[in-house]
Chain A
């Protein structure tokens, strides 16, 4: 069974699998934490019970998502050492401190205030509770800041020298390392992606409940808020994505060649290949549907600008083309579909049909998971596209791996696959079940489930520990 699978390939599978699975949770919780902060802020500002209901509704979902993000993230912090020890030894002096800053400024912040956010409303009062929610939201963003700085440094390394023992050592300024050339673009693109992902999930839940009962005011509010996000942020994301692409063209042109499927160079304007089947062996794209000059127009803002192709670099320097080509197209297609839904919602709003246009709701429901697919496809483009390097241009993937026996890596890979699908599959099921639950006035927060065999006793609602401390909540629930 393991014929042809060496430890390197297995280690790559393992990292790809664990990190893809992991990123699903933060992609959701980064956006959801901010959404919760907005809802709680609106509740405190307007004193409208509706916002508190929505806050409680999504807090339950956040609790599960966050727990899965924490445990799958813990795995990531050790993957570097277990499977990529040579990389860790060599790049540790540069990336280690940046990741340590993530732990110190983000993880502790999130974890420290999470307990109060989930269980502490009745113990600390609404204002202090709101600041705890804001701290958790801030923590998710700060975490993204540091880890994307690390990833960007690996893509566009800067500010380092190479020591006598082969280690990457920090140069004169940490600023150059942290704010390396691709970092601002990658950070913006990724954080907006997380917000959009959350918006489409919230929109789908709203749409689902509107399809069942279009008079549900809670469903209306969440659907409307989500559609504003889609309409306003999707175009921004496409613009930022374009800038990120231009930055990649400048620093990692080979990755862009693979994304575009340009095996050969074009001296007088390159076509944009919309679809096709890349064939790396024959170095051509079969069945290609092309728009002449469009690629040069997009990438160089000049239809006749020359663009080099993959034939300009040796085969040993090229990433796998097919995966990058397709992952990129999936991401872009979803991006434009998101824009389309956002525009549709604007038309619906203008025609005062936002809450009773069944087809719009169906479309929003179908688009619910689209953010996750786009995010994963984007990361696949990013990570496969920078092969064959871990530190781009300096350290090859093949030279980064731990000295491990293939059976050890295979056994742990199988364990990860089985356990991740089982545990996180069940967790996702619990989340879907909470989303199926109809949002209603007097939402009981973490103590949901009024009837039926599933009585979610909740995750320790604070005020019920100490009911006397909760004058603001007649039902004594956070």
Chain B
């Protein structure tokens, strides 16, 4: 007889939801979190798309510590001396189940973990799982933590992007640097009314999301991001590790300081105080880097399974983690009912993922990571081209004007018309 029906490693989006579902199904669950509280070791950009959370907690809007609902999207092509921004807002973005919220993981994860605990899951904090227990056949039978051995019929690994356990669980090899990005973020405190005014919102419940390509990473693969919280701004950079480590003369933390000084960002954070400086990796390799998500006696969900999609204009991870955590919890409970938590007995989880948007999306975008990695013009030539074309349109110095066609075509030719056509086609086919 095992100590628990299930052990969940990690109390993030995937872990707390998996534990919640298992406990709600009447199973005994232990959730082991290495932070002193849920979220203590976690970081997001960040914004969560609400659809999958709503399926688990239909009233989350009233309960969860959300920062602001995103009502404005901005995407920029940034050069050192200019910035072209596309802004978008629409009623569609605001409909229930289609909306998104900025969050901070400290408060958010604590709320999510409390839901699991209220449902009956036991949680221990401040202890990392050091290794997995296995029986003679190699089936995972529990965890070793702080010199204790705790057994369970099934172990669900939700221990994040830097999991040190997935190798043992399913033979996952340490990801290659070109499949991973490093994220850096500062939380910059400002009065909520100031945040509201600076994004031209009408209330402190309304927020903005802003992504930057180009100079934010000094032309390297990646981008900058800005999300408005209730009384702070999350500002950061994500950069692909292989490209950054190979030849950048500017370290990532210097890039962030430079982004803070860029004339299009500086006014937003003026007078703000940095209250936290954080780092977190982002799995960007997509479907082709994902590990097996089912092993003998073990499931993987969330970032430990590399569930993330970064399209440059849309960055998603938490909604996948919540959906996967829910499926892992439900399917593990079924396997427990059937008395079979072998790999074959747990395959309902794989099927559920295949049938859902989680693996459908990751398959759909599987070619996108390669497109981003091989199209450095997005981060260099295109922001410069955008600047030059806009300068032609908006700068007026009294010299006789040329027809736009004559002033713009040479700029386009510098980049190469064929290159542009090729990149647009590449991008469209990878989406």
The yes or no verdict on A and B being binding partners is no
Q: Point out residues on A near B: beta carbons under 8 Å.
A: none
Q: Point out residues on B near A: beta carbons under 8 Å.
A: none
